[in-house]
Amino acid sequence: MRQIKRSRWIPDRENLLVEETLFHNANGYIGVRGCLEEGYPDGYDTIRGTYINGFYDYVPMPQAEKLYGLVEEKQTILNVAEVQGIRLNLDGEWFSVFEGEILDSYRVLDMDKGITHRWISWKSPQGKVLEISIKRMASFTMLPLFLIEYEITSVNYNGKLAFYSMHSGKVSNYFNPDDPRVAGKAHVFLQVTDQESSSGFSRMTARTSKSGLSVTTAVRNVLAADSLPGHGRGGQEERVLETEEDGFTERITTYIAENESVRMTKYCIICDSTRYPGEEEAALALCREASEIPAEDWFGRQAAYLDKFWNNCDIGITGDHELTEALHYNMYQLLQSAGKDSRSSIAAKGLSGEGYEGHYFWDTEMYIMPFFLLNDPDTAVKLLRYRYHTLEHAKENARILGHKKGAAYSWRTIMGRECSGYFPSGSAQYHISGDIAYAVVAYYLASRDLGFMEEYGAEMLVETARLWMELGNYYEGTFQIHAVTGPDEYTCLVNNNYYTNVLARYNLEWAVKIIRILEEGGRAGKVIDKAGVTRAELQEFEKAAGAMYLPYDEKLGINPQDDSFLKKKKWDLSEIKEEEKPLLLHYHPMYLYRHQICKQADTVMAHFILEDAQDVEVIRRSFVYYETVTTHDSSLSSCIFSIVAAKLGMVEKAYEYFGESAKLDLFNTHKNTKDGIHTANMGGTYMAVVYGFGGLRTKESGLYLAPVLPKRWTGYYFQFQYQLRKIRVTVNARQTEIQLMEGTFLPLWVHGKLYQLTHRLIIDAAQG
Amino acid sequence: MRQIKRSRWIPDRENLLVEETLFHNANGYIGVRGCLEEGYPDGYDTIRGTYINGFYDYVPMPQAEKLYGLVEEKQTILNVAEVQGIRLNLDGEWFSVFEGEILDSYRVLDMDKGITHRWISWKSPQGKVLEISIKRMASFTMLPLFLIEYEITSVNYNGKLAFYSMHSGKVSNYFNPDDPRVAGKAHVFLQVTDQESSSGFSRMTARTSKSGLSVTTAVRNVLAADSLPGHGRGGQEERVLETEEDGFTERITTYIAENESVRMTKYCIICDSTRYPGEEEAALALCREASEIPAEDWFGRQAAYLDKFWNNCDIGITGDHELTEALHYNMYQLLQSAGKDSRSSIAAKGLSGEGYEGHYFWDTEMYIMPFFLLNDPDTAVKLLRYRYHTLEHAKENARILGHKKGAAYSWRTIMGRECSGYFPSGSAQYHISGDIAYAVVAYYLASRDLGFMEEYGAEMLVETARLWMELGNYYEGTFQIHAVTGPDEYTCLVNNNYYTNVLARYNLEWAVKIIRILEEGGRAGKVIDKAGVTRAELQEFEKAAGAMYLPYDEKLGINPQDDSFLKKKKWDLSEIKEEEKPLLLHYHPMYLYRHQICKQADTVMAHFILEDAQDVEVIRRSFVYYETVTTHDSSLSSCIFSIVAAKLGMVEKAYEYFGESAKLDLFNTHKNTKDGIHTANMGGTYMAVVYGFGGLRTKESGLYLAPVLPKRWTGYYFQFQYQLRKIRVTVNARQTEIQLMEGTFLPLWVHGKLYQLTHRLIIDAAQG
């Protein structure tokens, strides 16, 4: 049973915002924060949001000093409508968990069923006792559908009961001028342009002010017939659907008696103009379709969908229920967050909040893609196709940055254009283009899907490779890349960032390689024509890759993060006071840049993603060195250190790093879960188990495993898909069992030794 | 006769804004742009401004992305009031140079007299012919006084004549959202809080919205008695002083007959609350005082002041009148621009416009200070005392930048706080603290004024030296300075910028040296106590100076601009198209940073200011190298290249560089003179003559000269003050004559040879 349960749930002022995030309902297309249907008393902060993945408006972002090419307009995700509001009136008394008495309660995220459930046994100030059960769901089988099943059971009350169901366009985004991680200003983005109601349906269309997009919401409230038995005033129901300025309230009045239940289902359809052209009609039609199906059936479909999902990505830590639960939670959130229509990706906060304004970062490709590659390749393809879809914007961005050729993917974006207001840790992170190229190759290696490469992948590899040619230059026979920023945002605008250079080399090599592979299959014509690839250009790629400069320090025997990193002033990590953390909130960027201090894994990350570029002893020394200078002020860091520690056999250290990251949101350890979940970290914890402890690698040369077991675990298991196979790995202190669940036999490397996997392989721990 | 004259002056639409700058009246305290008193027709752009040096309001400057320590509020110079407006009505016809016919005209800046003069012989549309003479002056002898003498002589007109004299607080700053070099938005900064009129005086007080400063303007219009002879309606005069919302208009009606003249003097007093506490009363009192003195007398005092000025700084190019004129113009503008009250400095645009928002930069110390050091040491001291006055802000700025000790002067500021919105070419230019230290030492070397050093200079040297200790770190035995920007703004956030490091060394050395010198005189107590200087700290300074890392490339035998400069991609200057200039308006900063391309003199500038740090052959090779990579997109560049070329004996090259810079504003070669004069460039052209062709240096070891003569000149001469002496240098093809005009004899070096200057020294050119 995969679930997160808060028993004896009480509305804790501090925690309500965090729970809105943790219990949000999303399906990759829409997301609704887990706010209380009945609302909050005055003075309670709430981020009452409903979001659509990839739906945005433009916001001016003036630069303090205008310089050529600096970004002055960004995109932002929008709170599109209020649909979750349902207030309950009991003969004059309003239901509120902040009044009366909560006799018993719980709140559950049921990940097997794909729903959230709030249950309260409540005694009103006047003594009415009722049980209230609220189930919510963002449907995975009908993406525009958000559904609430609201059921009241009377314990001692006989009388009138009225639902007030809200459907409103009076919404704005959350803002907080004091927090650099959320938007600083309130904006009214959406204007309701059209609304109508008929036969119990309400429909509202709103248009963005600048991006020219529109969204239609349609709502229908249905009182379940079976919940209105022929008691006293049997089945009576009075409905008033009031049209207001920018919205509706439907009041549904009925009666309830002791031991009776009343159940209402609210069907909400959210369609935007990019995915549902003619969305006014589409939304109404879908609302009609959805509301003819009882909630129970929708729950059944949802459960079936999730059954399949979990069946594909089973994972667990034997004997550590809490950790297993955290892993399940993380994977479930990735599922909730991932765009599945090739027109959207995975926002830094998924669809759970407005932090980072709904932007997509490298997080998708480097932290989340592995989960989908190994468990849900269809979604992985769609995420890559989203990047292909924005390739023209990436080319345009490259031109803005001065480059005559190639594609420079935006560091943060929704529709493709750059949204970073501070280029030293924004556009300067050119590595994102390499990251996307890396993900394209990773998909190819895990799938051997030549069709994708022919149609999309090869072109992306060529255009990103061109960027490196534009960026780099030869100096004394080496190919160097200057004035870029690697993953570590405490060290910006540097020369020859190791991560960037080694990734650029890989990108250049694979651009050449994939053309060759396609040519061998007679399938290279398309990309050669479309991208205008020439033999000479491929030779240039090869030459640059061959001459790529990778900084190496002879004395320390490590790869310096960049040309000057080791010359900088040291900063003793033990001297950093608690109140100075994270450093970025207490030090001027230049001060950070001047020091040997890292926000996050950078060279260590390169040593993970391209581990064969260096001897393992170099990696070991690098790892040890960077440990002493890394603050892990980013949630993207610990998981990578965990993976590399595991690779180096430092299993207990790997465990420590892992422990810090797995429960970030569930325990709100970064204190900003209210703004949304940390999707990259969630992907990272998955990677830490599978790539870290499991030692999984999918390389050109084949499949690799190297399981290790931290002392505090009795065992663990995970499953994954690889080249049309399904494989299950079970590890305990005694042995590693590798099971080929589906597909044909394959050779694989376990702890550096080649095996043939036909059905089941059991390897003694001693051999590992 | 030093003057700039536009004969047959016509109101050219394109040129009016430029002339407003060129003919502005200023005295270092106030500045009034040379707008037409009678105003402009609709559709004519004008920057109708009246400014006070160092008078500012705060303006929000939000950052696109908030990061710790980034500046979010700047100061801006204010257009304080409209006082120059005088409209002239001739029995219903308004005087306007855009109507009727201009029969003859000129416009003059008379630099001997310190006034501007516009003279027009005008025929009105109805055929009235008059001569109008308008003289204007910002008084050097009463700084708050701006005066207009407006005289009308009738050729053929007999009738009514009315002056409408404006005094208005309805003013705002100029803005242009499309030009990054001026403010992007309109702001109303000043609110009129109080106004009154009595006995012909009008007074108005306005307060800034945020900085808490206020300004009072007082105006009196006086009709000269001698211009109202007993003709027809002899001496009649009707006055109406109308109070309006935020201002006044005084209407003075009289009569004029053929061959008669009427003359009005408008006395405007501008007092701000920082320099004239109780400025409401002070302004009125000063206005009363000023207006009791006839204009003619004020002009006389002004001429006497300028007589003294020119007497001290005579300079000329024999046989090149236009160039001599340009030099005079530049020096005059420096005089007009320089704050003389230790509470203000010299804005980038002086008091002639709002470009760069009235901010002070390193320009003062490195480009303008030499002129004052050599010609007007009293003003030089005041400019340095302004920096001393803002030392506490510099310390605060250092704390914001993360430094525990020391003073980091703001890159651009009015009252001391940093106003740079883009730190990579703002706060990162730490060299400004070294520049200020350099100017302190330069003043000491030229004056041996130990009193100043005891009171102010030594403390400034110690606090700036501390900054370098904070910034730098030891690496392999050398002292290195990372993540700073040198003068060249096309190469930002680099390591070991040669200019910065060599200047830091000088700063550290002089901090130690000056304490020693003061100790020898028994005068070190004050600074030691105040700044808490310890013996150990001085040893640290010495050690760091001794270990200072100065980049040197063995292969090229030059000083690279920084650690990575020579590794960057080259950019062939000849490939830059005209429409790409200046590069900063056409390329993303990162693109520039990635290339070996310089906006301006950087290492070459270091080779000028600290020429003894390198062998002359290194300097020669560096110069030749940097010539190939410098675009001179900054107006601060050519003059430095000229100086170093002259030093290296490349006299004709020096002449070419000089030619480009001397007439920048007079010929509006940078196309932005409308926003104000380029004070640094003006100082630079002076330096190019005296330091460049004259080879003047004032070093610890004494006074140096090395005159050279470009082919196209027959000769040149200049004067300067040095350690209480006045010296005149006259150069021609045959010889150099050095004359000790005042003071006791001294040894000096000419072309590397030691001489004793007692009265007059004549050195044959052949010896040079």
Residue-wise DSSP of A408-455: ---SSBSSSS---S-GGGTTT-THHHHHHHHHHHHHHHHH--HHHIII
Tell me the DSSP string of A99-111.
SSEEEEEEEEEET
What is the mean predicted confidence (pLDDT) over B9-35? 94
ipTM of predicted assembly, 2 dp: 0.94
Q: Are residues A422 and B65, on separate chains, in Cβ contact within 8 Å?
A: yes
The distance of B422 to chain A (nearest Cα, Å) reads 6
CA neighbor of A144 nearest in space, from A59, A259, A267, A254: A267
At residue A447's C-alpha, the angle toward residues A441 and A450, to 5°, is: 75
B277 upstream amide cis, omega within 30 of 0: no
**Using alpha carbons only, what angle is made at residue B431 by residues B430 and B434, rounded to the nearest 5 degrees?**
115
Mention every residue, 6+ apart, whose C-beta is less than 8 A from residue B649. B708
Chain A residues in contact with B403 (beta carbon < 8 A): 591
Phi and psi for A353 in degrees, rounded to 5? 180, -175
- From the list A62, A422, A564, the residue facing B62 with the nearest CB is A62
pLDDT reported for residue B671: 87
The answer to whether B348 and B397 have CB atoms below 8 angstroms apart is no
Residue B422's region, left for phi above 0, alpha for psi from -120 to 50, else beta, is: beta
Whether A235 is in a domain gets the answer yes
Percent of chain B scored above 90 by pLDDT?
92
Asked if residues A337 and A323 have their Cβ atoms less than 8 Å apart, the reply is no
Number of independent structural domains in chain A: 1
- Cα B79 to Cα B55: distance, rounded to the nearest angstrom: 10
Are A61 and B64 an interchain contact pair (Cβ–Cβ within 8 Å)?
yes
Token reading at B346 = 């010299």
Looking at the partner chain, which of A184, A401, A472 has a beta carbon nearest the beta carbon of B590?
A: A401
Report yes or no on A602 lying in a domain.
no
The pLDDT tens digits of the residues spanning B652-699 come to: 999 999 986 888 899 998 888 999 999 999 999 999 999 999 999 999
> Does the beta-carbon distance from A475 to B184 stay under 8 Å?
no
Residues from chain A contacting residue B549 (CB–CB below 8 Å) = none
Residue B218, min C-alpha distance to chain A (Å)? 37
Element counts in chain A: helices (H) and strands (E): 20, 32
Q: Which of B493, B549, B597 to mutate to test the interface with A (most CBs of A within 10 A)?
A: B493
The residues facing B727 across adjacent strands are: B720, B740
A68 closest CB neighbour out of B65, B586, B594: B586
Q: Say how far apart CA A370 and CA A21 lie, in whole Å.
A: 24
Instruction: Identify the closest residue of chain B to A403 by CA–CA distance.
Output: B591
Calculate how close chain A gets to B54, using CA atoms only, in Å: 22
- Interface test mutation site (partner B, options A61, A68, A489, max chain B beta carbons within 10 A): A68
Distance CA A315, CA A716 (A): 8
Q: In chain B, which residues have their Cβ closer than 8 Å to the Cβ of A492?
A: 493
pLDDT at position A27 over 80: yes
Beta bridge partners of B474: B479
How many beta-carbon contacts under 8 Å exist across A and B?
155
CB contact under 8 Å between B427 and A590, yes or no, is yes
Closest-CA residue of chain A to B582: A68
pLDDT above 90: residue B765: no
Burial B375-410 (b: 16+ CB within 10 A, else e): bbbebbbbbbbbbbbbbebbbbbbebbbbeebbbbb
> Does a structural domain hold residue A626?
no
Question: Among B424, B355, B62, which residue's Cα sits nearest to residue A63?
Answer: B62
The CA distance from B575 to B582, in Å, is 13
Residues B79, B50: contact at Cβ < 8 Å?
yes
In a domain, B448, yes or no: no
Average pLDDT over residues B39-62: 94
Q: Which amino acid is at A591?
A: Y
Nearest CA in chain A to B476: A567
Chain A contacts of B67, Cβ < 8 Å?
A: 180, 422, 584, 588-589
Whether A586 and B68 lie within 8 Å, measured CB to CB = yes
Q: Do A202 and A192 contact (CB within 8 A), yes or no? A: no
Q: Cis omega before residue B125 (within 30°)?
A: no
Whether residues A72 and B64 touch (CB distance < 8 A) is answered with yes
B62 contacts A483? CB cut-off 8 A: no
Alpha-carbon distances, residue B476 vs A566, A595, B201 (angstroms): 11, 16, 72
Distance CA B709, CA B214 (A): 52
Distance CA A577, CA A13 (A): 29
What percentage of chain B has pLDDT greater than the value 70? 97
Residue of chain B with shortest Cα separation from A424: B590
User: What does the block give as tokens for A463?
Assistant: 């255009």
Q: What angle do CA B135, B138, B143 make, to 5 degrees?
A: 150
For residue B228, the model assigns a pLDDT of 61
Nearest CA-CA distance, residue A228 and chain B, Å: 56
Between the alpha carbon of residue A327 and those of residues A27, A314, A333, B707, the distances in Å are 18, 10, 10, 80
Report the amino acid identity of residue A293. Answer: I
Q: Which residues of A touch B473 (CB under 8 A)?
A: 568-570
DSSP string covering A303-365, please? HHHHHHHHHHS-EEEET-HHHHHHHHHHHHHHHHH---SSS----TTTTS--GGGG-B-THII
Whole-number Å distance between alpha carbons of A593 and A574: 19
**pLDDT given at position A237:** 83
Contact of B354 with B672, CB cutoff 8 Å? no
In whole angstroms, what is the distance from residue B364 CA to residue B362 CA? 5
Angle, helices A498-520 vs A535-547, to 10°: value is 140
B539 Cα distance to chain centroid: 38
pLDDT tier at B538 (50, 70, 90 boundaries)? very high
> B493 vs A590: CB contact, 8 Å cut-off?
yes
Greatest C-alpha distance within chain B: 94
Residues of A within 8 A of B423 (CB-CB) are 588-590
Determine which helix (DSSP H) or strand (DSSP E) holds A160, and give its type and residue range. strand A159-168
**Rounded CA separation A104/B210 (Å):** 56
The pLDDT of residue B231 is 46
State the nearest Cα–Cα gap between A467 and chain B, in angstroms: 13
Contacts of A61 in chain B (CB under 8 A): 64
Query: Which alpha helices (H) appear in A649-707, and where do they start and end?
Result: 651-662, 679-687
- B748: left (phi > 0), else alpha (psi -120 to 50), else beta? beta
Per the structure, the complete domain to which residue A239 belongs is given by 3-61+72-283
Partner-chain residue, chosen from A65, A421, A593, that has the shortest CB–CB distance to B483? A593
* Residue B51 included in any domain: yes
Q: Quote the distance between the C-alpha of residue A611 and its chain's center.
A: 25
Confidence of residue A41 (pLDDT cuts 50, 70, 90): very high
Q: Which residue of B has its CA nearest to A73?
A: B64
- Taking the CA of residue B684 and the nearest CA in chain A, the distance in Å comes to 26
Residue from the list B427, B570, B585 with its beta carbon closest to the beta carbon of A68? B585
Q: Looking at the domain assignment, is residue B476 inside a domain?
A: no
Closest-CA distance, B227 to chain A, in angstroms, reads 53
Residue A232 pLDDT grade (very low, low, confident, very high; cuts 50, 70, 90): very low
> Do A564 and B495 make contact, defined as CB atoms within 8 angstroms?
yes
Check whether A260 has a pLDDT greater than 70: yes
Quick one: average pLDDT of A372-377? 97
pLDDT in tens, B399-457: 999 999 999 999 999 999 999 999 999 999 999 999 999 999 999 999 999 999 999 99
Q: Least CA distance to A177: which residue of chain B? A: B66
For residue A223, count CB atoms less than 10 angstroms from its CB and return exposed for 0-12, middle for 13-18, buried for 19 or more.
middle
Sign, CA dihedral B224-B226-B232-B236, equals positive
**Beta-strand runs (E) in B462-506:** 472-475, 478-481
Paired with A732 in beta bridges are A715
More confident residue, B238 or A226: B238
From the list B422, B471, B587, which residue is nearest A402 (CB)? B587
DSSP single-letter state for residue B599: S
Give dist(CA A214, CA A57) in Å, integer.
Answer: 10
Residues of chain A neighbouring B586 (CB-CB closer than 8 A): 68
Distance from CA of B138 to the nearest CA of A (A): 33
Average pLDDT of A465-475?
98
Closest Cβ opposite residue A473 in set B423, B427, B569: B569
* Record: contact A64-B564, CB cut-off 8 A: no
Question: Is B564 in Cβ contact with A564 (below 8 Å)?
Answer: yes
Count the helix, strand and coil residues of chain B and give each as a percent rounded to the nearest 5.
Answer: 35, 25, 40
Cα separation, B420 vs B424, in Å, equals 9
pLDDT at B767: 59
The per-residue pLDDT for range A694-741, each reduced to its tens digit, is 999 999 999 999 999 999 999 999 999 999 999 999 999 999 999 999
Does the pLDDT value for residue A121 go beyond 80? yes
What's the mean pLDDT in A163-182? Answer: 82
Short-list B285, B292, B221, CA closest to B250: B221
Instruction: Quote the pLDDT of residue B232.
Output: 43
Instruction: Report phi then psi at B137, rounded to 5.
Output: -155, 135
Helix (H, G, I), strand (E, B), or coil: what is residue B481?
Answer: strand
pLDDT digits over B240-249, tens only? 999 999 999 9
* A472-475/A478-481 β-pairing: antiparallel
Write out pLDDT tens, residues B76-87: 999 999 999 999
DSSP annotation string for B742-757? ES--EEEEETTEEEEE
Give residue A231's pLDDT band: very low, low, confident or very high (50, 70, 90).
very low
3-state secondary structure of B121: strand
> In this complex, which of A427, A493, A588 lies closest to B69 when CB atoms are compared?
A588
Q: How high is the pLDDT of residue B183?
A: 64
- The two three-digit tokens of residue A222, written as one number: 């249905």
Asked if residue B293 is part of any domain, the answer here is yes
Active site residue B489: yes
Per the prediction, chain A carries an average pLDDT of: 95
What is the CATH number for A23? Answer: 2.70.98.40
Which residues of A have a catalytic role annotated? 489
DSSP, res A8: T
Record: contact A426-B61, CB cut-off 8 A:
no
Q: Give the torsion sign (CA, B597, B600, B604, B605).
A: negative
